[in-house]
Each structure stands twice: as structure tokens, then as C-alpha cells.
Structure 1
Amino acid sequence: MSIPIWVFAVVAGIVISALMAIKTGREEHQLEMESIEKEGEIYLERLEKEKERREGEKAAGV
């Protein structure tokens, strides 16, 4: 009772496909996290500028 070679090829293909899907998922997650972090930094910079602007107006108005 021998197993045909094509069965091994199919199993190997499934394993390789699964490994590549995991690798791609991790890479996409990393890129997404970097993008979110960058957007957060931009938002915090805007908040700081707005805070400084308001403090400047407040000091000039007093």
C-alpha cells in the first residue's frame, strides 16, 4: 500500500501555503500598527499646536 507522490506534493503545498499566509498576516499586522502609530503621533502634534495657539491667544489677550 504505497501513497502516490502527488499526495505528498499536495500536502507540501498546503503546508507551504499555510506558512506563507501566517507570514503575510504578521507583516500586514506590523504595517497596520506602524500606520496607526504614525497617525497617533500626527494627532498628538496637532493637539500640542492647538494648545500652544490657545495659550498664545490667552496671553496676548490678557
Structure 2
Amino acid sequence: MSSIPIWVFAVILLIFLSGYMAIRAFLAEKKLDRQFIEREGKIYMERIQEERMKRREQE
């Protein structure tokens, strides 16, 4: 244990920290993408409903 320099432990710790931050960023981006898709889907469904209402009024 005493033969391994402290900087080696620091590098290993930083590697794990970097991995944790990468996973955290990936999950946050995935959540944002899901919210964007959901918002765009709602807009699309509203347009479809408006189009249906227009067609019913024309009949």
C-alpha cells in the first residue's frame, strides 16, 4: 500500500468521478429529450383535433 503514490489514487478517483458525471449528464439529456418529444407530440395531437373539428363543421 505504501509503495503506490497518492497521485495514482487521485487519478483513479477522478476517473470514477468523471464516469459518474458522464452518466448523470446522459440521464439529464435523456430527460430533456423525452420532455421535448412529449411537448411536440401534444402540439401534433392538438393540430389533428383542430383539423377533425374543421372537417366536422364542414359536413
Same-fold call, TM > 0.5?
A: yes
Normalised to the residue count of structure 1, the TM-score between the two structures is: 0.90
The number of aligned residues is: 58
Q: Deviations over 1:3-61 (max 9, x none)?
A: 00110010011000000000000000000000000000000000000000010011xxx
Normalised to the residue count of structure 2, the TM-score between the two structures is: 0.95
Gaps of 5+ in 1: none
Moved over 4 A (4+): none
Whether 2:33 is the aligned partner of 1:32: answer yes
Report % sequence identity.
45
Which residue of structure 1 aligns with residue 53 of structure 2? Answer: 52
Q: Distance in 1 between matches of 2:3 and 2:46?
A: 67
State the AA in 1 paired with 2:3.
Answer: S
Q: Distance in 2 between matches of 1:26 and 1:2?
A: 39
